[in-house]
Amino acid sequence: MKPVVPPPLQLSVAFALAATAAAVALALLLLHVAVPPVLLALLAVVTLAGFALVERVFLRDVAAIADYAHRLGEGEDATPPAICTPLRPVVSAVTRLRRSAQLQCDQTRAELDANEAILEALHDPFLLVDSHRQVEHANAAARALFGERMVTRDLAASLRNPSILEAVDAVLGGAASRSVEFSLPVPVERMFEVRVKPFRRRRPAATEGVIDAPAEERTAILTLHDITAIKRSEQMRADFIANASHELRTPLSTLLGFIETLRGPARDDDDARDRFLGIMHDQASRMTRLVSDLLSLSRIELDEHMPPGGAVDVVARLQGVLAAFELKAHERRIRLRLVAPASVPPVVGDDDQLTQVFQNLISNAIKYTREQSEVTVTVSVSDGSAVGAASTGGASMGGVRVPRIGGGPMVAVAVADHGEGIARTHLPRLTERFYRVDAARSRALGGTGLGLAIVKHILNRHRGRMTIESEVGVGSTFTVYLPAEAGAQTKAAERRGAA
């Protein structure tokens, strides 16, 4: 039960007087009491005056309530009028109505803000285009891509791709969802898949403060999905298959050619047979090497996400690898030199894989350095920050993807040769599979073009990194950085000393 608000005293007095006068007059008339007409007239005046006063006050309150409701409807923060008639509960009801509408409005606004924040935080660009193709909403990712000023302008002003504009026009014209691919050439080429979806929006049309039935507007939502990595990996896979087939086809056709020759014209030529068999052996060995390199690469890729757990004594491994290459180096009269401090901490790593890294780098250095020159392998210990500096310095990069190193000590192994060096343009691609600066020369030297790709993947697994510094005509230095085992600064040196 709602409490009944008593009317103020004046109104009650006026109402009581009018009612009493009316009642007295009525009673006198009904009882046929002889009353002087002056008294009757007086009673009538009192009754009329009392009721007129009550009516005036009621009308004034009704007008005040109407004005209050109107101002609230206009969005004003109006204060409730002072009401002295029994209409006061109406004011409280209007105030409560207004409060609940305000609450709903606040809730809707909070939800809208949350939705806006979610859209804004989306990694993928998102756009809402109205029925006139004007950009109504663009999230941060979209604005970063197409410019801050794209909102409220025609989509064509910031996105000039004809296929996308055509798809948007079609969807706004009533067509179903469309999907378009497009590329942005600058600053680095990126590929996007753009999905254009129709969005029927119910929009209330307000006229003269009256809310009409909601009208429907056809808008379009554009979401852009970056597919650069997918496209690149598709391309790489296609390139890889083409390259691997090409690499295998060449020795295979050489083998087939010699087999034909040995079966036909050279059937009885002993000298030619020996020579040809030698070449066939080389080609078959090349194929074996290629297949084993490919297998090795796929094995490394398989467990690339699992960091290695062992501890490797880098200096001992390098000594072993250099000893194994001694003969090959001697053939080209190349001197191999190892420079290492007395104390080198072991690195976290897989023994076999790190040996493979050193083998590949030292084998390259011996292959590509000038005859009678020197290949120097220098081991040093640096902290993580020094490695960061090395990577960003003006020096050339090897294209190895490297996670941020936590700043702990790193063991650096630099393999320097005095070869003809590598032009700067080749450096970012050197670690790609089958990439060679001079393919014919590499093949002639028995190379498969997979060595540095293997190095890259092993280093990725080891959370290590590589930098390449090279000067044409002077030589190249390939430096590998590997995280040292925590708290093991001198163990390796002690072990070597004890051995």
List residues near ligand ATP by CB under 6 A: 293, 360, 364-365, 368, 417, 419, 422, 430, 435-438, 442, 447-453, 476
* Secondary structure (DSSP) of 23-85: HHHHHHHHTT----HHHHHHHHHHHHHHHHHHHHHHHHHHHHHHHHHHHHHTT--PPPPP--S
Q: Which is nearer to Mg ion, 158 or 364 (CB)?
A: 364
Q: Which is nearer to ligand ATP, 223 or 360 (CB)?
A: 360
From the list ligand ATP, Mg ion, none, partner contacted by residue 438 (C-beta under 5 to 8 A by kind): ligand ATP
Nearest distance in Å: CB 250, ligand ATP: 14
Residues 6+ apart with CB under 8 A from 246: none
The Cα 248–Cα 465 span in angstroms is 31
417 neighbors 365 (Cβ within 8 angstroms): yes
CA angle 334, 338, 344 (to 5 degrees): 165
Nearest distance in Å: CB 305, ligand ATP: 23
Q: Which is nearer to ligand ATP, 158 or 442 (CB)?
A: 442
Nearest distance in Å: CB 445, Mg ion: 9
CA angle 448, 353, 445 (to 5 degrees): 20
The Cα 175–Cα 215 span in angstroms is 20
Nearest distance in Å: CB 451, Mg ion: 3
From the list ligand ATP, Mg ion, none, partner contacted by residue 359 (C-beta under 5 to 8 A by kind): none
Q: Which is nearer to ligand ATP, 56 or 441 (CB)?
A: 441
The Cα 351–Cα 311 span in angstroms is 8
Cα–chain center distance at 473? 42
The Cα 458–Cα 446 span in angstroms is 22
Q: Which is nearer to ligand ATP, 224 or 365 (CB)?
A: 365
Q: Which is nearer to ligand ATP, 61 or 293 (CB)?
A: 293
The Cα 324–Cα 185 span in angstroms is 48
From the list ligand ATP, Mg ion, none, partner contacted by residue 422 (C-beta under 5 to 8 A by kind): ligand ATP
From the list Mg ion, ligand ATP, none, partner contacted by residue 368 (C-beta under 5 to 8 A by kind): ligand ATP
Nearest distance in Å: CB 414, Mg ion: 17
Nearest distance in Å: CB 333, ligand ATP: 17
Q: Which is nearer to ligand ATP, 12 or 292 (CB)?
A: 292
Q: Which is nearer to Mg ion, 143 or 367 (CB)?
A: 367
Residues near Mg ion (CB under 5 A) are: 364, 451
The Cα 289–Cα 281 span in angstroms is 12
Q: Which is nearer to Mg ion, 314 or 454 (CB)?
A: 454
Place of tokens 């040196």: 493
Q: Which is nearer to ligand ATP, 124 or 438 (CB)?
A: 438
In the chain, what are the helix, strand and coil shares in percent, each to the nearest 5?
A: 55, 20, 30
The closest alpha carbon to 283, from 438, 436, 443, belongs to 443
Name the 3-class secondary structure at 177: coil
Nearest distance in Å: CB 221, ligand ATP: 47
From the list ligand ATP, Mg ion, none, partner contacted by residue 312 (C-beta under 5 to 8 A by kind): none
Phi, psi of 415, rounded to the nearest 5 degrees: -110, 110
Name the 3-class secondary structure at 348: strand
From the list Mg ion, ligand ATP, none, partner contacted by residue 483 (C-beta under 5 to 8 A by kind): none
CA angle 201, 206, 207 (to 5 degrees): 145
**Which two tokens mark 158?**
């910031």
Dihedral sign for Cα atoms in the order 244, 245, 246, 252? positive
From the list ligand ATP, Mg ion, none, partner contacted by residue 290 (C-beta under 5 to 8 A by kind): none
Q: Is 119 exposed, middle or buried (0-12, 13-18, 19+ CB in 10 A)?
A: middle
Tell me the residue number closest to ligand ATP, measured at CB. Answer: 451
From the list ligand ATP, Mg ion, none, partner contacted by residue 375 (C-beta under 5 to 8 A by kind): none
Nearest distance in Å: CB 336, ligand ATP: 14
Nearest distance in Å: CB 156, ligand ATP: 46
The Cα 184–Cα 173 span in angstroms is 26
Nearest distance in Å: CB 415, ligand ATP: 7
Q: Which is nearer to Mg ion, 85 or 360 (CB)?
A: 360
The Cα 180–Cα 143 span in angstroms is 20
Question: What Cα–Cα distance (Å) separates residue 193 from each residue in 164, 182, 196, 225, 497?
Answer: 10, 7, 10, 5, 61
Tell me the residue number closest to Mg ion, measured at CB. Answer: 451
- The DSSP symbol for 425 reads G
Q: Which is nearer to ligand ATP, 289 or 496 (CB)?
A: 289
